Amino acid sequence: MRFLPVNIDAFIVELNSLEQTMALTDVLQGVIAEWHINEIIPAARTLLIRYNPIVTDANILAKQIAQLDISANVMQSGELVTIPVRYNGEDLPQVADYLGITVAEVIARHTNNEYQVAFCGFAPGFAYMVSKTVQLNVPRRQSPRVRIPAGSVALAGEFSSVYPQSSPGGWQLIGITDTAVWDIYRDEPALFKPGTRVHFIDVSQSKTTYHLPAHLSVSKKQDNTVEPQQDITVLTTGLQTLFQDNGRIGQAALGISESGAMDKSALHSANRILGNSINEPALEITQGGFSAQINRSMLVTITGAVCDITITTAQGETYTLPMYQPIQLEVGDIIRLSNVKCGTRSYLAVRGGFQVSPILTSCAFDTLAQVGPLPLKAGQTLAIKQTNTLKPVLLTETPTINYPTSQDVVVLDIVLGPRTDWFTQQAIELLTSQLWQVTPASNRIGLRLSGEQPLTREKHQELPSEGTCIGAIQIPANGQPVLFLNDHPLTGGYPVIGAVCNYHLDLAGQIPVNAKIKFNPIGIFKEF
């Protein structure tokens, strides 16, 4: 085993085979609580271990794990699922050229061999399928696509998979299916789980209609016929307004990342000001542009990115108010957030909290997984909880970070690893010496960065998919970093050169487009 640093509360265990990885996963499941492990994310040849750094450390855990018996066990076979595919993927000709065979042979190899799900990750319902006989081992694209359609059937390395949702990705696209591999409203949202056997068929060569197993074919969408309270009417949502809370911690087994508020300190401040529980959902408003009409008396506050807060009363009187203070609103008032001066995301909370139903333990909307209460729309109405257990309001709350502008250089501390040694010494020096500009392609999934000189790799072999954390700095083949944020994929196939330290993640989530980042390593890269 190799033990590689990831962050101040995480490390990777590297093993020799997929079988060993699955065996170690099984053994560790029995000691998670005893060893103070928060989460285990299995991948092709690695396990990402997230632990509680207050009561243990990486060196203690590494010694404990190294003594475990990981004699390879046999993966249990699950039920067989048939996936009809239209083999019209835009990468199909390139895959055939790379393998030195015809397109027809690619399709034949994909359909004539049975796959089995080894593990899940990247996104909810995304299954990494393997076959010992298929012979379709191809590299990922040099640069990932910004958007791949849901249902896309794809190849990367030794794996095949189906994209459950529209998302970014770097796999080679060979076809598409109409089968829903992820449906949050099914009793079992994920069609695939470790052990599931998968048979792909070419719909152009078959007239048979295939149906999912009964327990996976019924979607129970929520009944929204009940008229909700109309305490707030949304007028405009700006670029994006989402419900966010602390996120979905511990849902990696479903392929779901943590998500949650990009600036958790601002979320917690908003709730403390109003006397709420600090995890009450609030509205995360990106770059201002939000407005709403108030239909009952309420107390609200705005925290996070600095913006103008304007109130227009029912009588037409207009006034402005400060951030980080409780704001009393009355019937007929219109509140507007505009002119963001620094930072990116502001948080609007109400005293008592919004009345919103959690999905898979959280009210956060995950933009990659498409899980959670949907993004707000103009005309939507919001309800406030009725509660008598609130704490007093707080008048002394202040921001915990200095919010950057698009002209600033933001310094982020990083931990080097786990794949720092895949890069040249020049690339490691460039990572920390040159400035990286945040590009407009950035979002909650990650900041896409641009530097004058790309980072070059010393090792050019394909990296088997492995777990990633919030803050991971992934380097695609084009050498321009992607800094993973809250809605990042759980696993990825491009090497991670370092990760932003946990205590700078809120700051990273507030960096605006065109601002520049300077990475500051807090130590050297070394195994332990």
Please list the pLDDT of the chain residue by residue as tens digits (528 residues): 999 999 999 999 999 988 898 889 888 988 999 999 999 998 989 999 999 999 999 999 999 999 998 886 666 678 899 999 999 999 999 999 999 999 999 999 999 999 999 888 877 889 999 998 999 999 988 888 989 999 999 999 889 999 998 888 889 999 999 999 998 888 788 899 888 999 999 999 877 777 776 666 666 665 554 556 899 999 999 999 999 999 998 787 777 889 999 999 999 999 999 999 999 999 999 999 999 999 999 999 999 999 999 999 999 999 999 999 999 999 999 999 999 999 999 999 999 999 999 998 899 999 988 899 999 999 999 999 988 778 999 999 999 999 999 999 999 999 999 999 999 999 999 999 999 999 999 999 999 999 999 999 999 987 888 999 999 999 998 999 999 999 998 888 899 999 999 999 999 999 999 999 999 999 999 999
Q: Tell me the sheet residues that pair with 527.
A: none
Task: Determine the pLDDT at residue 146.
Answer: 87
Nearest to 356 by CA among 383, 387, 388: 383
CATH of the domain at 516: 2.40.100.10
The sign of the CA dihedral 32, 418, 479, 407 is: positive
Nearest to 51 by CA among 15, 3, 7, 21: 7
**Do 261 and 353 fall within a single domain?**
yes
**Do 191 and 123 fall within a single domain?**
yes
CATH of the domain at 352: 2.60.120
Question: Does residue 390 sit within a domain?
Answer: no
In whole angstroms, how far apart are CA 518 and each of 17, 232, 485, 514?
37, 41, 17, 13
What burial class does residue 338 get, using C-beta atoms within 10 Å of its C-beta: 0-12 exposed, 13-18 middle, 19+ buried? Answer: middle
**Do 374 and 241 fall within a single domain?**
yes
Nearest to 383 by CA among 168, 233, 266: 233
**Do 162 and 239 fall within a single domain?**
no
Locate 339 and state its tokens.
Answer: 């002119």
Locate 264 and state its tokens.
Answer: 């958790």
**Do 255 and 325 fall within a single domain?**
yes
Residue with tokens 């103070």: 36
Domain end: 367, 382, 397, which one? 382
CA distance 251 to 255: 7
Task: Determine the pLDDT at residue 474.
Answer: 97
Residue 300: CB partners within 8 Å, gap ≥ 6? 274, 326, 327, 329, 335, 348, 349, 350, 351
Residue with tokens 């700095």: 473
CA distance 496 to 101: 33
**Do 517 and 465 fall within a single domain?**
yes
Question: Does residue 283 sit within a domain?
Answer: yes
**Do 237 and 375 fall within a single domain?**
yes
CA distance 382 to 363: 14
pTM of the predicted protein model? 0.87
CA distance 76 to 84: 24
Chain centroid, CA 525 distance in Å:
25
Task: Determine the pLDDT at residue 252.
Answer: 79
Question: Does residue 132 sit within a domain?
Answer: yes
Question: Does residue 399 sit within a domain?
Answer: no
**Do 309 and 339 fall within a single domain?**
yes
Long-range contacts of 34-39 (CB under 8 A, 24+ apart): 35/61, 35/64, 37/61, 38/9, 38/249, 38/250, 39/249, 39/250, 39/252
Question: Does residue 391 sit within a domain?
Answer: no
Task: Determine the pLDDT at residue 136.
Answer: 97
**Do 105 and 152 fall within a single domain?**
yes
**CA dihedral angle for residue 228, residue 233, residue 236, residue 237, rounded to 10 degrees:** -50
In whole angstroms, how far apart are CA 223 and each of 35, 45, 227?
42, 43, 11
**Do 197 and 264 fall within a single domain?**
no
Is 119 within 8 Å of 158 (Cβ atoms)?
no
Beta strands in 90-157 (DSSP E): 115-120, 127-130, 145-148, 152-156
CA distance 79 to 22: 19
E strand or H helix that includes residue 46: strand 46-51
Peptide bond into 481 cis (omega under 30): no
End-to-end CA distance of the chain: 11
Is 423 within 8 Å of 495 (Cβ atoms)?
yes
Is 191 within 8 Å of 180 (Cβ atoms)?
yes
Domain end: 38, 66, 94, which one? 66
Question: Does residue 510 sit within a domain?
Answer: yes
CA distance 222 to 237: 24
Number of domains the chain contains: 4
Domain end: 217, 241, 271, which one? 217
In whole angstroms, how far apart are CA 346 and each of 198, 261, 342?
44, 10, 10
Task: Determine the pLDDT at residue 475.
Answer: 97
- Phi and psi, residue 217, nearest 5°: -105, -10
Is 486 within 8 Å of 371 (Cβ atoms)?
no
Locate 136 and state its tokens.
Answer: 């379709």
**Do 244 and 348 fall within a single domain?**
yes
**Do 288 and 312 fall within a single domain?**
yes
Task: Determine the pLDDT at residue 348.
Answer: 98
Domain that holds residue 213: 80-217
Question: Does residue 223 sit within a domain?
Answer: no
Question: Does residue 389 sit within a domain?
Answer: no
Residue with tokens 């065109």: 514
